[in-house]
Amino acid sequence: MNILTGTNRTLLDLAVLFLRLMLGSIMFVAGGGKVFGWFDGMGMDATIQAFQSYMGLSAFWTYLSSYTELVGGLFLILGFLTRPAALALTVNMLVASVFIGFKGFFVEKGAAYPFSLMVSSLVILLTGPFAISLDALLFGGSTRSLNQQNHNNR
């Protein structure tokens, strides 16, 4: 019965890794397309024009948003500076959701997509990177203390 009701630390490590890889990949590809035109993206000049005409955003905010997706996505994939990256992506996707608007939330091009990315990044922000990450390798203290707390609570 424990398999159905208990918490398995190894499976939690894997679950957060999968979430980080999924979200990080989506954000890295989106940012790479906006910044460099990779993955059939528009590139920075076209992105600036699109953001300005569609949302009224200046070049500064477009650069900030695009590089947040690119660098934040890469950091999530690696599990490096995970919480700061997740915070930046949470804010970025919250702003994207608000700019798109919540009317027609579930329609194509609606806010459901950036909102779900925001919630995913919020989950990573709250949980941290867990054991399979550069953060755990480089700064292992918080991960070790969580492991010790879980072991002591058994």
28 within some domain: yes
1 within some domain: no
Question: Buried b / exposed e across 96-117, counting CB within 10 Å, b at 16+?
Answer: bbeebeeeeeeeeebbbbbbeb
2 within some domain: no
Report the distance separating Cα 34 and Cα 115, nearest Å: 19
**Which own/partner pairs from 144-151 qualify as long-range (CB within 8 Å, at least 24 positions apart)?**
147/9, 150/7, 150/9
- Give the chain's domain count: 1
CB distance 68 to 47 below 8 Å: no
Q: Print pLDDT tens along the chain (154 aa).
A: 777 788 889 999 999 999 999 999 999 999 999 999 999 999 999 999 999 998 899 999 999 999 999 999 999 999 999 999 999 999 999 999 999 888 888 888 889 999 999 999 999 999 999 999 999 999 985 544 455 555 554 4
Could you tell me the two tokens for 73?
A: 């996505």
Cβ count near 92 (within 10 Å):
23
Domain that holds residue 116: 7-152
pLDDT on residue 145: 45
